[in-house]
Amino acid sequence: MKIREILTRPEGRRLEFKQELPASAELAKTIVAFANDAGGNIFIGICNTPRELTGVPEAELMKMEEQIASVIHDHCRPVIIPEITFHADGNLHFIRIQIHRGSDLPYHLGSKGEKEGTYIRIGSTNRRADEAIIAELKRRKRNISFDAESVYDKKASDFDLTDFRKQYQELTNEDLDDTALVKLGLMRTEQGSPVATHSLALFSDYESRKELFPFSKIECARFKGISTDTRIDDKTITEQIGRQPEEALKFIQRHVSRSSRIEGVYTRSRWEYPMAAIREALRNAVVHRDYSLTGKDIKVAIYDDMVEITSPGTLPPSIDFHEMEARQSDIRNRIIAPVFKRLGLIDQWGNGLKIIAEELRSYPDIELKWFERGLQFQVQFVRKNFHPAVQVTESDGSFGTWPAPGRHQVGTRSAPGRHQVGARSAPGSNQIEILLSSIGTSGNIREFMALLGWKDRSKFRAKYITPLLEQGILAMTIPDKPNSSRQEYYLTEKGRTFLETLQNSRDH
């Protein structure tokens, strides 16, 4: 195990750092959450903020191992068997608790029971699972998928498959009769009568499925600039899911540029974004989204500096976007995915990420970013060399410009844009630079206020701290307790890059 490499990784879905052994309840929640999802590692003896190997006294190792084993045995149900190992880097010792992905789902805290004590991992936090998530965990245990479950509230004949039958015939040159529907798993026969599955409903016309799946659509929008302040165009795609990826791609192509160049006697055209990779991301968003989540649709957002695709549902447990070149396959929707493959809309299993990675090699000016934001998965195709300027108010009341900070990913309509820094009340660039330059390892709000000559804590927080936190330039050392008296703030990687941009802009 290369501890120096591990120290560079962010906390997340599969990784957590603790300087000392946490309270039993907190440790048990993390272990349950890891077991319910992709598994993970907890390191004891490593401080997360700032990231530092602090170590555990060697004499305490055996005692801590017994405490950890007791917590898991006493608090976690069903039985979870961890791997607890000791490691050292020089004279510093630390403990690794490895939790494997469980098969006896859902795991929960014994004292709270399944309904109140089931936790899942969302990013670097543990979140109590609601009834829908618990139901999904139980389906995973039974090795079935939501799209394969039967619909009993409506007859199979209630779903309008006119467009899907047409598409199926066009792409496979075969008729989609009831026999084919049963063979594909879209319909089954129960007690001599045809019964639709959720997947059949999703391939039907929107009017016939919206009662069951009102959010089985894609919301597309083109925004002016790099925030959601001004919308130029939008479109709601409600076609049956077999048509949705291409319709969304058409919307994107309508709003991004395409250049041409002469090569000999030929004219070559090129999109400003890798369209093959975006098409694959759109297909993945439709095929692998979690249709059991209510109130969430797929969102496609186009800004001046990027294309962003957000799909309901986290990544399947075995998929790792860090390993895009590897062929990875973990199918959430076990009826929908084979139908898409039958239609030729997706390639062979596990090839999607590889297609995206290969296409991006031809676009060195485009960076792929991905995030798990709550119960949603988001990918961004970002233009690396895009540097807009934002107008700000200087301390003397005049206006100036300075390069905008790295964008705050929006993903949903309710997320903040970057307009805060451009508002009339925004702090000047020189004040921002002074504040950020003063932060060493970390700093507290009292120090910042004294530095800039402020006395009103609430106004200072609203004008400086909150916008910088929202944009990811600053982060809290105690994020779970934002109002803690011991709260301090530190520069994120984005913040350090932003500070360098400010300084370079001033110097030139």
Q: Rounded to the nearest 10 degrees, what angle do helices 429-437 and 445-452 cross at? A: 130
pLDDT, position 396: 40
Query: What CA–CA distance (Å, rounded) separates 170 from 471?
Result: 47
Q: Return phi, psi of residue 356, to 5°.
A: -60, -45
Name which of 458, 391, 467 is nearest 424 in CA terms: 391
Q: How high is the pLDDT of residue 349?
A: 54
- pLDDT at residue 324, as a whole number: 46
Say what the pLDDT of residue 438 is. Answer: 80
Which pLDDT value is given to residue 206?
97
| Spans in the chain with pLDDT lower than 50 | 324, 326, 389-426
Cα gap 298→116, rounded to integer Å:
29
What's the pLDDT score for residue 448? 87
pTM, full prediction: 0.70
Calpha distance 162→176 (Å, rounded): 10
Class assignment of domain 3-129?
alpha beta
Fold topology of 218-383: Heat Shock Protein 90 (3.30.565)
Report pLDDT for 502.
Answer: 72
Q: What radius of gyration do the chain's Cα atoms show?
A: 26
Question: So what's the pLDDT on residue 429?
Answer: 62
- Exposed/middle/buried for residue 157 (C-beta within 10 Å: 0-12, 13-18, 19+): exposed
CA–CA gap between residue 277 and residue 357 (Å, rounded) = 8
What would the CATH number be for the domain defined by 389-507? 1.10.10.10
Where exactly are the structural domains of the chain? 3-129, 146-209, 218-383, 389-507
